[in-house]
Amino acid sequence: MSFFITEKCIGCTLCKKLCPVGAVEGELKERHRIKERRCVECGVCGRACKQEAIVDSKGNVMKAVPKDQWKKPVIMKDKCSACSMCVWNCTKDALRIAEPAFKGDIRVFAELSDPKKCVGCGICESVCPLHAIHMEVGGQ
């Protein structure tokens, strides 16, 4: 079972705009719904919902969390191989592969290039084959 939107929903569309996988559907000022097959249970919708209209897959009402307290990816440069899996899978374009420090530098790595775009979904962490990314509050 995926997350669920209750009757508390006022149709503000914030959850729909922030969902990294397009699992939320609905129109402005109408109750939204979550497409169960698309939902990856990242919790972005619940953290963003000021109405607390989102219920997680265990039946718990998700509490709104101020955006400055959302987790962000921390990339361990010594582990990162710059494979780009995180960059390709970030639907918010918040990550990139850093430019080499100098001509001929082969030590490149992923980096959080735009923290404001990051919604803290953790998809980058889950796709990293080297486990070089972890999520933490105030990360970068």
Q: 105 burial class (0-12, 13-18, 19+ CB within 10 angstroms)?
A: exposed
As a whole number of angstroms, the distance between CA 10 and CA 96 comes to 35
Two domains, one topology: 1-65 and 68-137: yes
**pLDDT (mean) for 7-18:** 97
**pLDDT (mean) for 41-57:** 96
pTM, two decimals, is 0.88
Fold of 68-137: Alpha-Beta Plaits (3.30.70)
**pLDDT tens digits along 67-104:** 999 999 999 999 999 999 999 999 999 999 998 888 88
**pLDDT tens digits along 20-30:** 999 999 999 99
**pLDDT tens digits along 108-131:** 999 999 999 999 999 999 999 999
Fold of 1-65: Alpha-Beta Plaits (3.30.70)
As a whole number of angstroms, the distance between CA 59 and CA 4 comes to 9
Looking up tokens 């933490």 gives 136
User: Domain ranges in the chain?
Assistant: 1-65, 68-137
- pLDDT at residue 136 in the model: 96
